[in-house]
Amino acid sequence: MSSPSQKALFIPSKQAAFAVASTGVPTPAAGELLVKIQAAGLNPIDWKIQKYGFAVETYPAIIGSEFSGTVEAVGEGVTSFQKGDRVACAGKWVNDYSAFQQFALAAADFTVKLPPSVSFDQAASIPVGVATAAIGLYQTADFGAGLTAPWEQGGKGKYEGKPLLVLGGAGSVGSYAIQFAKLSGFSPIIATASLHNSAHLKSLGATHVIDRHLDASLLREAIAKITALPIEVVFDAVGGPQTQQSGLDVLAPGGVIASVAQSKLGDAVGDGKRVKSIFVSPFHPHNRDVAVGFASELTAYLESGDIQPNRIEVLAGGLNGVADGLARLQDGKVSGAKLIVRPQETA
């Protein structure tokens, strides 16, 4: 009897155009799940991998960093999941673990069960954004601000009365950073964004929304009108040179800025300020404690509404819709919504 096959979206060779082709369905090993993927999220890193040919060494390559679906099989030693469970999963850039296919493996430790209130489409917006926000705020080694996480003893509400700034609050990562900041007790929570997103960001926990187009001096003035307290934590969900510099300019001496991109500020930022460049993968050993921590609590946060999934836009065509969606991300034509595809709809 022939082994089962599936459809997957490949990069056939370095920097080549995406192409849908058939491939085998993997088998879960110890600690793994096999998931039938119902929805996969698109991220800016996906078009960068295809265009610039980095992060992937073996071709043909399947990429994609987050997905949701149903558990089809469990590997040895897995007791917390069973066939049929609805889950959200973090992917990685190894073909069997990547999101742009109809079936993939997932690490049970980093997989989250979905409450009935969260759809597969919504759930596919969760893993990357949540991991980036959580690692950036709570990782204590190389990649994060080192705050006490809300799921740790004494962490929930610990930072009550302290202000926090999120640069780029309307994006996937920024919206989750706002929600974690609220769980941590920060107030005021100030976000920069296009002002038409103000109501949505305030529903997530932002207390103030400032126009993202303001230059550094006007940003400082706007913040000064909100609070006279020092800004000791800045979360930069954009990662451009301008936002990194703006964040540094408003940061208090001794404070920390966590940015989604490699720091362009140099080593000597002065005044005891620290700059952390977030490496988002939960599979990195330094990120394991944070990843296991938020994965263990995320189902409860979703059930309670403390963490709300991103607003989404579902693209037509299954995996055939990925390339056009990534082009929109590259061109900056996506705002305030996460792009999602449904691999099972691939013709």
pLDDT in tens, 200-221: 999 999 999 999 999 989 999 9
> What confidence score (pLDDT) does residue 259 get?
97
Say which CATH number the domain at 208 has. Answer: 3.40.50.720
Reply yes or no on whether the pLDDT at 225 is more than 90. Answer: yes
How far apart CA 340 and CA 32 sit, in angstroms, is 24
Encode pLDDT of 309-330 as tens digits: 999 999 999 999 999 999 999 9
Residue 229 shares a structural domain with residue 141: yes
Find the domain containing 49 and state its range. Answer: 5-125+309-345
Please indicate, yes or no, if residue 227 is contained in any of the structural domains: yes
Please indicate, yes or no, if residue 284 is contained in any of the structural domains: no
Selection from 163, 164, 157 nearest residue 184 by Cα: 157
Beta bridge partner(s), residue 130? none
Reply yes or no on whether the pLDDT at 2 is more than 70. Answer: no
| Range 299-311 average pLDDT | 97
Residue 323 shares a structural domain with residue 243: no
Say which CATH number the domain at 319 has. Answer: 3.90.180.10
Residue 99 shares a structural domain with residue 137: no
Residue 240 shares a structural domain with residue 338: no
Residue with tokens 């920390």: 256
Q: How many domains does the chain have?
A: 2
Residue 339 shares a structural domain with residue 242: no
- Inter-helix orientation angle 127-138/172-183, to 10°: 50
Those residues with Cβ within 8 angstroms of residue 17's Cβ, 6 or more apart along the chain or in another chain: 323
| Range 38-61 average pLDDT | 96
> What confidence score (pLDDT) does residue 268 get?
63
- Of 233, 255, 277, the last residue of a domain is 277
- Of 253, 277, 301, the last residue of a domain is 277
Res. 267 pLDDT band, cuts 50 70 90: low
> What confidence score (pLDDT) does residue 141 get?
86
Please indicate, yes or no, if residue 270 is contained in any of the structural domains: yes
What is the residue-averaged pLDDT of the chain?
A: 96
Helix, strand, coil % in the chain, rounded to nearest 5? 30, 25, 45
Three-class DSSP category at 106: strand
Tell me 271's DSSP state: T
Res. 1 pLDDT band, cuts 50 70 90: very low
- Of 258, 277, 296, the last residue of a domain is 277
